[in-house]
Amino acid sequence: MPGGVTANIKFFSPHPLFMDGGEGAYLRDVDGNDYVDYMLSYGALMLGHGHPAIKETLYSQIENSGTWLFGTPHELEIQFANKMKQFFPGMDFLRYTNSGTEATLLALRLAESYTGKHKIAKFEGHYHGGYNKVLLSLDPDLAERGSSEEPNSVPSSKGINRSQVQETVVLPYNDNNAFEILKKHANEIGAVLIEPVQGGFIPAGSSFMSELRYLTEEYNIVLIFDEVKTGFRINLGGAQSYYGIQPDLTTLGKVIGGGFPLGVVGGKKEILMESSPIKEDSSEILKPRDVLFHSGTYNGHPLILAAGLKTIDILENELDNVLMKTDLLKSELELLFSEKGIPMQAIGIGSIFNVIISEERILNYRDYCEANFKMRKKIDYQLLYNGIYSKPLSRYSLSTRHGEKEIERTINAYEKVLTGL
C-alpha cells in the first residue's frame, strides 16, 4: 500500500498506530495499549465503538430479510428519508450515496444541471471530498494563496488540470469580500459549497450566513451546505437549524451511517428532479441523455440504513448529554491551559471542537494558520503516550460513550503533558 495506508488522512509521522479493537470510548492498539478515542473515525462513531444496539440492529436486519443487499427499492429507504425530513425540513426529495465525498459530488452536479452554470465557488480552507473540482485551496501556502480579499485557487493535490482550477472560484470565509466576488462571477457560478462550520469547529458569523443566503437566491446560485461533519453533531437539525437558514441542498454523511459508509443529498424538489428517470407528474420515461446520471450498486444499503436509523433514534434521547459533556471538557481544558500560562481556545459548537493554541480570534483558515502548531504537535504526541488518541493536530469529537471517567482521564493526561513541557 502506498505509504502503508489506504487513505492518506490516516497517515502521520513517523507512522500511524495500528488498532485491533475498540469498545465504547476506547481504542486498543496491536501492542495492547488502550486510548480514550477522540477521533471516532473522524467523527462518524457518534455512539462510540461497538454499541450493542447497533450490533443487534444489524443481526435483526439480516435475520428478518434473509439477505444483506436487495439491489432494489426497499422500505428502509422510505423510513430513513422520513427521518431526514423530520430534522431537515428543506429536504423535499433526497438521494443516497456511499460517502460524504459522493454526496458533495452529486450535489454539485445537480446544481450545475439545474442552473446551466458550470463554475462553482468554495471557501478557502474548506474540505468537501477527494475529487479535483474541490481539492483546491484546502491548505494553501502563504506564498501562493494571494490576498485575503480575493484568494487564489490553489491545487491541493497532484493531478489537477489547470482548466479545473479555473472552474472553481475560491472565496474568503467569514469575510464580506466573498459577496463582491460572487456578484462579479454570478453569471458563471451555479453553486456555492460551504462548510457552515469550517472543519467542523470554526463557525461562520450569523450575518455572514444570512447575506450568503440572500445573494445566492438573488443571483440564481444553488447554496449547498456540506453538513457531513456537522449533521447530528451540532444539534439534531445540523448547522442550518443552528443558523435558522435553509439551503437549497444539504449533504450529510459520517454520523448518519452509524459507522458504515453512507451519504445523503437532499433539498428542493425541482433540483433533485434533475436526476429522475421519469418526467415529473407523469409516467413518461425520459431518455438517459435527458437525465442527470446518478446510480450506485450500494446506494441505500439496507444494513447501513438500519444502523443509521438506530443511531439517530438513540441520539434523539442522548445528544443533549453529549453536548453537555463536550462543553465540560472544553471548559476544563481551557482552565488547565490558563493555569499553565498557555493561551488556548477550545473552539467549536456542538460535540466537535479543536484545541487552538492562540489568543487571537479565529474566524477562518488564515487566522487558524497563525496558531502555535509546533507546541500543539508536541502535546498531541505526548498525549498518545498517555492514552489519549487523536491524530496529531486533529479536532476532537465526542460520543455518547464519553463520560466523566473519560473526561477525568483526559484532563489528568493533559496535566501531566503540560507539566512535562
| DSSP E strand stretches across 32-185 | 34-37, 93-97, 119-123, 168-171
Q: Is 81 helix (H, G, I), strand (E, B) or coil?
A: helix
User: How many C-beta neighbours within 10 Å does residue 17 have?
Assistant: 15
Please give the grid coordinates belonging to residue 229.
461533519
Angle between helices 404-420 and 373-385 (to 10 degrees): 120
Cβ contacts of residue 171 below 8 Å, gap of 6+?
121, 122, 123, 124, 151, 178, 181, 182, 192
Catalytic residue among 117, 133, 254, 268: 254
Rounded Cα–Cα distance for residues 93 and 280 (Å): 13
* Three-class HEC string of 134-178: CCECCCCCCCCCECCCCECCCECCCCCCHHHHHCEEEECCCCCHH
Q: Is 291 helix (H, G, I), strand (E, B) or coil?
A: coil
Please, how many CA atoms are within 13 Å of residue 29, restricted to the half-sphere of its CB?
14
Question: Is residue 254 annotated as part of the catalytic site, yes or no?
Answer: yes
Catalytic residue among 175, 226, 248, 367: 226
Catalytic residue among 127, 173, 243, 396: 127
Catalytic residues: 127, 226, 254
